[in-house]
Amino acid sequence: MIWKQDIAGCFGEVDQLFAIHPLDDQRAFDLLIKLRRERPGWEDIEEAFRDHLQSQGCNADHIDEQLEAVRRHYRAGSEKKILKQEGTIAISWNCRSTFRRCWRRDH
């Protein structure tokens, strides 16, 4: 589960807020790609994020808020789609209602 090492980069260093800064958001998107490839269960994902936040000394309320942010980003199935078309993977990511981007690479 190499994806676990990338969790810390999805959070702000000081405030431990999930994917608020554009660089944190990009790292969260990159992690989504790894999660889609490795297909861990949601319980494993949530546990790994919870472990990270606890290791940073976050209180229970903050952890619950940030796990909800993670759920909104990673479990909003209609907002994220992986499409395979003619050897290309296209992932649409919509983490905020006003922000949308597409990532494409040759597969």
Task: State the Cα–Cα distance between residues 100 and 25, nearest whole angstrom.
Answer: 12
Tokens 């479990």 map to which residue?
75
Reported residue count of the chain is 107
Tell me the mean pLDDT in the region 65-80. 76
Q: pLDDT exceeding 90 applies to what percent of the chain? A: 64
Helices 60-74, 22-38: crossing angle, 10 deg rounding: 70
Residue 53, pLDDT above cutoff 90:
yes
Report whether pLDDT(94) > 60. Answer: no
CA proximity to 8, closest of 76, 56, 65, 63: 56
Q: State the pTM of this model.
A: 0.71
